[in-house]
Amino acid sequence: MAAPRIELDTVPTPDTKPIALIAPSNPMKATPFAPGQIYGRRFRDAKPINFGKAASPRNFAVHGVDVSRWQGEIDWPKLRTQGANFAYIKATDGGDHLDPMFRKNWRAAEAAGLRRGAYHFFYWCRTAGEQADWFIRNVPKVAGALPPVIDVEYNGESSCKRRLSRAKTLEKMQVFMDKLERHYGQRPIIYTAPDFYRDNLRGEFLDYPFWLRAVAEPPSKVYPGRKWVFWQYSGSGLSHGVEGKIDLNVFRGSASDWHRWVSRSAG
């Protein structure tokens, strides 16, 4: 079952009825969380960017985070009330690495009332099939989970320095995504960064949802013409509940759009 695509081309406008964005004065008293509750953005940013009034991430109703082992121990209830309505959690790399915090974060994010999904960092020196098998082995197929994500980008710190042709890159991605879609019944989301997108993905995978990294300019400038579901707008977020920096993201749409998208796309 392919996940539906978001067809929103402009900055979202408010719903006809005001949306209550909950920001309690004492976040530690906020559990248990009511299903579907939207918490307003209370994050800060160590390196704030002025994207312009029209393109500001603040215009979007639904904010979230992505995390990995590098965030260490997370106070998920507190992070939730700071505006993390969803979380993508690092699960796997390549064909044999599991993020040591994945299982704990996976359980704790759900307990705190966040919509959660898992992502895989793709290695170009491993076969796509074995990477898909490794992800499936480690990421549960559960009701309510967000679609799985394939993270495709260049990584200068990896021991794999291989740069495949565009055709081979697309072929490997397709094998991986097809296998995940068959298993989870959800069309995977493609996460990418500007340089990798420019070299490999421009004009490709038009029927797949995208999650775009754009931390200096809005996606419309960096990925002209590309529709997207999630925008990673900062890698230097600051929030109660997390030591150090955290990636900040928005969903493209209103709160009502979010609820509709989740009802169609979540497992």
pLDDT digits 0-9 by tens, 47-105: 999 999 999 999 999 999 999 999 999 999 999 999 999 999 999 999 999 999 999 99
Digit-coded pLDDT (tens) for 222-265 = 999 999 999 999 999 999 999 999 999 999 999 999 999 999 99
Average pLDDT rounded to a whole number, residues 171-199: 98
25 inside domain: no
Does residue 204 carry a catalytic annotation? no
Does residue 66 carry a catalytic annotation? yes
Q: Is 51 exposed, middle or buried (0-12, 13-18, 19+ CB in 10 A)?
A: buried
User: What gap in Å lies between CA 266 and CA 248, rounded to an integer?
Assistant: 21
16 inside domain: no
Amino acid code (one letter) for 224: P
Is residue 115 very low, low, confident or very high in pLDDT (cuts 50, 70, 90)? very high
Which CATH number characterizes residue 150's domain? Answer: 3.20.20.80
User: What gap in Å lies between CA 42 and CA 84, rounded to an integer?
Assistant: 9
241 inside domain: yes
**pLDDT at position 28, please?**
41
85 inside domain: yes
Digit-coded pLDDT (tens) for 196-231 = 999 999 999 999 999 999 999 999 999 999 999 999
Q: By residue range, what is the domain housing residue 63? A: 36-265
2 inside domain: no
**Number of structural domains, the chain?**
1
**pLDDT at position 20, please?**
42
216 inside domain: yes
149 inside domain: yes
99 inside domain: yes
User: What gap in Å lies between CA 187 and CA 181, rounded to an integer?
Assistant: 5
- Count the Cβ atoms, other than its own, within 10 Å of residue 249: 27
In the predicted model, what is the mean pLDDT of the chain? 89
**pLDDT at position 99, please?**
98
**pLDDT at position 35, please?**
64
Which of 110, 133, 153, 178 is catalytic? The answer is 153
**pLDDT at position 9, please?**
36
